[in-house]
Amino acid sequence: MPNLPVNGPWLNNLFTHRRNSPWHTFGKSSDIHAPGPSGLWVLLDEDAKGLNDAAFAFGMESPEWFDAPGTYHDGGCGFAFADGHSETHRWMNRAEKQSNRFVITDPSDQKDWEWMQQRTSARQ
């Protein structure tokens, strides 16, 4: 398994998050416990209009899109998980997601953000 992210400065929505403070980061496979390997995404389809670096930024504390997940698959996004399985998740709001600190106000986008939040990290 490849090395997983160990910092995630965006996890607190302020770009000041540091390793495991307060959101869990995963430096090696044995660090994965919440969410477990079958519930932790490692790779995903990012929206092409928002490609800006080699990482996907996701804030855990407030509903906004830093980077936008893709909607290429019938309004869904492809995910690869830490246990090796992959799946396409269809968003409730199948419209293209807006990125660059886009604050989420649409209730269906809020549910989509919550789905990602549950599969991104957990509090230490």
Rounded Cα distance, 91 and 12, in Å = 23
**Exposed / middle / buried, residue 53 (Cβ in 10 Å: 0-12, 13-18, 19+):** exposed
Nearest-Å Rg of the Cα atoms of the chain is 14
Indicate whether 3 pLDDT > 60.
no
Average pLDDT over residues 46-50: 88
- Please give the pLDDT value at position 113: 95
CA angle 66, 90, 2 (to 5 degrees): 60
Sequence-separated (6 or more) residues with CB below 8 Å from residue 23: 8, 11, 12, 17, 60, 121, 122, 123, 124
Rounded Cα distance, 98 and 91, in Å = 13
Give strand pairing partners of 18: 21
Indicate whether 4 pLDDT > 50.
no
Average pLDDT over residues 40-62: 90
Four-residue CA torsion sign, 11, 12, 18, 21: negative
- Please give the pLDDT value at position 6: 55
